[in-house]
Every structure is written in C-alpha cells, then in structure tokens.
A = this chain, B = another copy of it.
Amino acid sequence: MMYKSEEEFLRAYNPNDYDRLSLTTDILILSISDEVQTNYRKSNKKYMSVLLVKRNDYPYKDKWCLPGGFLDINEDLEECPRRILARETNLHDIYLEQLYSFGDVKRDPRMRVVSVSYMALVDKNRLKDNLSSNASWFNVNYFEEDDNVTVVLDNGEETIKFKIKKTLKESTSDKYKFEIIENDKIAFDHPLVIWSGIERLKNKINYTDVVFNMMPDLFALGDLQQVYEVILNKKLLDPAFRRIIADKVEKTEFVQTGAGHRPSALFRYKKSTKK
C-alpha cells in the first residue's frame, strides 16, 4: 500500500494492526549502609545495599521485588522510573541509568510484559525516614566463583540468597546468558536485574565518577575507600587507592574527630579536568 503523503498515511494507520503489550520499569536502587561498631575505636563497617519492596498481592505474593510500575502511555520511557523513584524516596534528583530490557514471553504470569530495568545510585542519608512502608534496605554480599555468583541479601530480619549462572552462548564468543539457578524469595526475573546492576556498578566505578552519587557531600578518604571495597568486593591498598582518586576529590578545611585515632580530613567530589 502506498500513500501520497505522510498525513494521508497517518490517517489510514491503525495502531491495532500490531500486537500491543504492557511495559514496566523496575529500578535497582543501590546505596551504602554502615553498621555501627560496638568498639568505639573501630570504624563502621560498610555495605552496599539494595531497596526491595514486599509484594502483598499475586503474583509472587509475599516475595520481595524491585520497586517498579507500569509505563504510562503519555510519559517518556525515562520518566517512568523517575516517577517511581520519587514515589519511593521523595527525591527527584537521583542518578539513574538504564540497565537492560527483559522480555521473555512467560516472565509475568499475568500477561505479556516487557520490563526495562534501571539502576539508581543514591546517598542513603538523603532519604532517612522517607521510605514507603513495605520497602526495606537489604545489605548485599556476593561471592563469585567461575561462572556462578551467589548473592546474599540481609535486612536484619530476613536473609535472601540467590544464585546466578553465566552460561556461554553457542556460536558467539564472549556473550553470556544469565540464568537463575537458585532463588526462592525474589519475584520475577529480578535476581538478574540485581546482579546485572552490581556488575555494571563494579565496572563503572573504575572508569567513571558514579560512586560519588552514593556519597555525602563531605567524606573521609577512608570511607570512600571502603565504599570502593564493598562494591568491588576486595581490599585495596591505601597508596594505590589514593593515587587513583587523587584528582577526583579535593580536601576541605573540615576534619572528622572523636574516633579514638588520628582525625581524617574531609574531602568533597571534584570533577576532574583531565581525561
């Protein structure tokens, strides 16, 4: 069928000629928590933490899932996670990036749904007491071995464990398919979203400045180093770490005292000028 003009074409166009489906966005909200130490001298142990919401209806009733919701027909795709973020945290200026789109036919038992996942990074101090009631922060621990990852989440009351396997796809080099091989408390394919976000952050921390979205305005270098360490899941050597971040931070006049040891200078994020 050929048309004389775009106007004529659009008049004749019937949107129902094609299959229509629902689209949701799910948001992996990551932050840093610290666990208050009993020994006054010791510094607070830090964790990476993720915000999960308890489902109180079917499907996956009583399981935990990522905050999410349906895309409105009149909103741009990225507006959707922003609206949900505002709902969950009351904050509007949160770092957000798209992760991946999931769309297996049977991923939602209700109907055909494609989900676009996002990752948000936030400084937890900014949203104290702003949480909606069925949401909870879970500390994240993960263990990688060969092609398996075990992720353990803990919110102080409940422990959630799931396992993901990277399997090499046939005929394509270096392309992995992720598969959930153990999971009983997380809804949908959200374990995949959680892990792909953690992997993304683990990579990005090395070549971008995204971490600073999880930091308060003023921070000690020791704290920043601990954040790197929990994200990368390995210890770093002090001098090397300080070399790497040297041109991303600037020293302020402030110090942090009262901890039973040498006070630490407080720094702030500084956009580095050189590449």
Q: Is B109 a contact partner of A6 (Cβ separation < 8 A)?
A: yes
Stretch at the interface among A72-80, A123-131, A137-145, A154-162: A72-80
Provide the bound-state CA to CA distance between A56 and B100, in Å: 32
Q: Does A212 contact B (CB under 8 A)?
A: yes
> Nearest Cβ distance between residue A274 and chain B, in whole angstroms?
14
Q: Is A59 a contact partner of B10 (Cβ separation < 8 A)?
A: yes
Q: Is A58 a contact partner of B110 (Cβ separation < 8 A)?
A: no
Q: How many residues of A contact B (CB 8 A)?
A: 61
Q: Does A40 contact B (CB under 8 A)?
A: no
Supposing A77-B102, A77-B104, A103-B76 touch, asked if A174 and B19 sit within 8 A by C-beta, the answer is no
Q: Does A269 contact B (CB under 8 A)?
A: yes
> Nearest Cβ distance between residue A87 and chain B, in whole angstroms?
17
Chain B residue nearest to A93 (CB atoms) is B171
Within 8 A of B (CB), among A112-127: 112, 114, 116
Interface residues of A (CB under 8 A from B): 1-3, 5-6, 8-10, 13, 15, 18-23, 56-59, 61, 70-78, 93-98, 100-105, 109-112, 114, 116, 170-175, 208-210, 212-213, 269, 271
